[in-house]
Amino acid sequence: MGRKALTVEAANQRLDAAQMGLRLYQRGEKLSLRGTLPPRPDSKETRPKQQFITLGVYANPAGIEYAEAEAFRLGALLAQKRFDWREVEPDTKENSETCQAWINRFQQDWQKQQEGDEDAIALRWREQFWYPAFKWLPPTAKLTPLLLDDVVDRWKPNSRSRQVACQKLQRLADFAGIESKSSPSK
């Protein structure tokens, strides 16, 4: 028995044969799924319609393999009428303002600008952002200026730790569009 072909076309043929109701699409360098799906939680729509699900994986053999598996999983949930957008897109409206959601978005944006192998990038992330500042943010709390000020207050005024934390938290606040004036010297 031969190995299955890892192309978008071959994956779509397998999905059609299994009657999953979803297809893979390559949009730029990344893969998405498309099918008739229930309305998103923040939508005014009431009936299912054709929609994309962004997977965030590249259109390479590993990405295609993941996307096909995800299509089978979601197709099964659709068939059982158990499909839930919150499982597919956890950063939907109700969770999109949490510290963890903003940290995840910031990390993805930051990683796009990094060079080197994945382990080195992950280490830089932990050393530059996670340990000095982000680990102190409560993951499920809403990211607000008041919360940022409270987190900064855990360090002594005028300390190097506080200065670094303020810089990192200010970058997150700028990324999230939040007015924060946390000061290293307060």
* Cα–Cα distance measured from residue 58 to residue 72, given in angstroms and rounded to the nearest whole number: 18
Q: How far is CA 50 from the centre of its chain?
A: 22
Residue burial 34-69, b: 16+ Cβ < 10 Å; e: rest: bbebbeeeeeeeeeeeebebebebbbeeebbebbbe
> Is 70:22 a contact under the CB 8 Å cutoff?
no
Question: Which residue is it, tokens 């939040």?
Answer: 178
* C-beta of residue 11 within 8 angstroms of C-beta of residue 57: no
Q: What pLDDT, in 10s, does the model give residues 64-107?
A: 998 999 999 999 999 999 898 877 765 544 446 888 889 999 99
* Cβ atoms of residues 33 and 71 within 8 Å: yes
**pLDDT digits 0-9 by tens, 112-143:** 889 888 899 999 999 999 999 999 998 888 88
| Domain regions of the chain by residue span | 8-91, 97-176
pLDDT, tens only, 15-74 = 999 999 999 999 888 889 999 999 887 778 889 999 988 887 888 988 899 899 999 999
